[in-house]
Amino acid sequence: MLAQSLPESSIDLPHPPAIQAAAAILMDAETGQVLYARNPDVPRPPASTTKIMTAILLLENTQPTDILTASKRASDTGGSSLNLREGEKITAHDMLYALMLRSANDGCVAVAEHIAGSERKFAEMMTRKAKEIGAANTIFRNCNGLNENPNRTTARDLAMMARYASRYPAFNDAVHTKACTITRAAGDRDTLLINHAKFLWHFPGADGVKTGYTNPAGHCFVGAATWNGWRLISVVLHSPDIVRETSALMKYGFEHFHALDVVRAGQEIGTVPVHLGRRSTVTARAQSAVRYIVPNGESPNVELRPRFLPVGAPLAAGAPVGALEVWIDGRQVGSAPLIAETSVERVAAAAPNRGSWWIFIMVLLGTVVIGNGTAIAQAARRGRCRLAAILRGPDSRG
């Protein structure tokens, strides 16, 4: 699937909202298609939106029941915190909620030390992971977004991180939770977590993601909302009003665009020749769906271009047989693998019978005789010429 910006339309696009944030983006959560952008690739400090990546690595490197222990360094971390005590233990499950609702800086340090041994090594892991998922303009130097040795990212990269994180149900459960209670080793002290994201209370269908604030970064927010099964992700960095601007971006997307399912998963695309198969062809089907976002009222020109591989038997059902390119209005906007609908067995090699062998031998002998006959005839002609020359004697010159 290719992440695309919205192409030039044959109709007038809806007028986008007046966004004052230093950088902003609106992205389709499934495809990564960009519906709106303002300075999307300008590096900015992300503040606590950094914790999206911290949460990703927490989910990928722990089990929910794993126990994390706070070091003195973690407990001494300032800013928004869980008020961890040195030696306090907390499950990875509860720590995820502490990161995403309370924005616990001390919890981030505990996560970093548990997974990588130090915050520095963990920040290196964060940067590598960002590059892996396509967030190429991001550098992490700490795990929580604090100003000391600050991180750098972009609106586009943060949206891509949020898209990636949303593949984890546990992440989605956490970021759309308005309030919850966690278990603390210290008993009932400081167990109620209230989500800092006021967007959850102000926009219908809001389901995430993460706030952030420092003096250099200003007010930042990575938002998400879902209407009728369609999810959008937005980012505003250094915004004068994160709730108002995020809501404006979401309304712009949901009210003026719609998702077009260009290809369905399992859709029949064509037939592929099968070399040495009991069947000469096999049906190719799209392994995954291809979706594209278009303005309301737009009727794009859609072209499906299958690229089949040379395949031979035996062929298993579900084996790759090519790729499908999806082109809209003259440019490629997506792709899907093509797979075989059914298996195809290899045709059995036929053993030649005695008659076939006899015909083969006769043809071979005939070829040899003809070849040899030609050679003999040529030798005879050369011999006759030499004999005539001898009979003419030494004085017979032409």
Percent of the chain with pLDDT over 90: 79
CA distance 311 to 307: 12
pLDDT at 105 over 60: yes
Segment 196-213 mean pLDDT: 97
Beta bridge partners of 233: 27, 224
37, 155 contact by CB (below 8 A): yes
Segment 353-359 mean pLDDT: 47
pLDDT digits (tens, 9 = 90+) for 244-263: 999 999 999 999 999 999 99
pLDDT at 353: 53
* 3-state SS class at 242: helix
Segment 290-303 mean pLDDT: 91
pLDDT band with cut points at 50, 70 and 90 for residue 186: low
pLDDT at 252: 97
CA distance 368 to 140: 78
ω into 42 cis (within 30 of 0): no
Whose tokens are 């591989």? That residue is 309
Q: How far is CA 331 from CA 23, 83, 100, 253, in A?
A: 27, 53, 39, 22
ω into 337 cis (within 30 of 0): no
Q: Indicate the class that CATH gives domain 23-261.
A: alpha beta
The catalytic residue positions are 48, 51, 103
pLDDT at 173: 98
* Mean pLDDT of the residues in the chain: 88
Segment 207-224 mean pLDDT: 97
Segment 20-48 mean pLDDT: 97
pLDDT at 6 over 50: no
Q: Which sign does the torsion angle of CA 40, 42, 45, 50 carry?
A: positive
Please state the three-class secondary structure of 203-228 as a single string.
CCCEEEEEEEEECCCEEEEEEEEEEC
30 CB-contact burial (10 Å; exposed 0-12 / middle 13-18 / buried 19+): middle
At residue 108's C-alpha, the angle toward residues 107 and 112, to 5°, is 120
pLDDT at 3: 43
Kindly list the domain boundaries of the chain, sorted by start residue: 23-261, 264-340
Q: Which sign does the torsion angle of CA 169, 335, 138, 118 carry?
A: positive
Count CA within 13 A, CB hemisphere, residue 187: 1
pLDDT band with cut points at 50, 70 and 90 for residue 91: very high
The domain 264-340 belongs to what CATH superfamily?
Answer: D-Ala-D-Ala carboxypeptidase, C-terminal domain (2.60.410.10)
